[in-house]
Amino acid sequence: MTDPNCLFCKIAAKQIPSAIVHEDEEMVAFRDIAPQVPVHIVLVPRVHCAGLNDLTADLAPVIGRIALVARDLAGRMGIAASGYRLVANCGPDAGQTVHHLHFHLLGGAPMGGRMA
Ligand code: 5GP
Ligand code: ZN
């Protein structure tokens, strides 16, 4: 369920402090320690899963609810109309550095580029 050596498991369990903006039984959302844009929030399931490559069907409901919470947070943070991205990096080419499945909610400034 959780990995005692995993940074985001420890943040979800509040063993490591973070600026939490939402939490419930299934997920935690907290401000990224090195924000790339004015609003940069990381959303994670409480259950440990290394990343999208390890996603299993039983996690599908929580991933859907993470998307709903991301939408609500975008509203709370005032970026619903200006726009935002919800991004999951998977593997080295995508630059994944923490191996606990997570989604970045990014917004508050034009992001330019066309990565997708
Ligand atoms: P990744 O690069 O794996 O997609 O995203 C990992 C994210 O976690 C990075 O944006 C990084 O800044 C953030 N991060 C790494 N360590 C910590 C930490 O201790 N606390 C918080 N709040 N964010 C962290
Ligand atoms: Zn973990």
Closest by CA to 104, choosing from 44, 56, 54, is: 44
pLDDT value of position 115:
78
Domain span including residue 58: 7-107
pLDDT value of position 17:
98
Residue range 22-31: mean pLDDT, rounded: 98
Residue range 12-39: mean pLDDT, rounded: 98
Neighbours of 100 (CB within 10 A): 23
114 alpha carbon – ligand 2 mean position (Å): 30
Q: Does 98 have pLDDT greater than 90?
A: yes
pLDDT value of position 112:
86
Please choose from 97, 103, 104, 105 the residue to mutate so as to test ligand 1's pocket, defined by most ligand atoms within 8 A of CB. Answer: 97
H helices of 13-98, in order, are 60-76
Residues lying with their CB under 5 A of ligand 2, a single-atom ion: 3, 6, 8-9, 48, 100
Q: b or e along 25-53 (b: 16 or more beta carbons within 10 Å of the residue's beta carbon)? A: ebbbbbebeeeebebbbbbbbbbbbebee
pLDDT tens-digit map of 34-93: 999 999 999 999 999 999 999 999 999 999 999 999 999 999 999 999 999 999 999 999
pLDDT value of position 1:
82
Under 8 Å between Cβ of 82 and 108: yes
Is 11 part of any domain?
A: yes
- For residue 113, with 0-12 CB atoms within 10 Å meaning exposed, 13-18 middle and 19 or more buried, which class applies? exposed
pLDDT value of position 5:
96
Is 87 part of any domain?
A: yes
Amino acid of residue 89:
N
pLDDT value of position 113:
78
pLDDT value of position 77:
98
Contacts 24+ apart (CB under 8 A), 78-81: 78/108, 79/39, 79/107, 79/108
Provide the domain count of the chain: 1
Under 8 Å between Cβ of 29 and 64: no
Domain containing 90 — which CATH number? Answer: 3.30.428.10
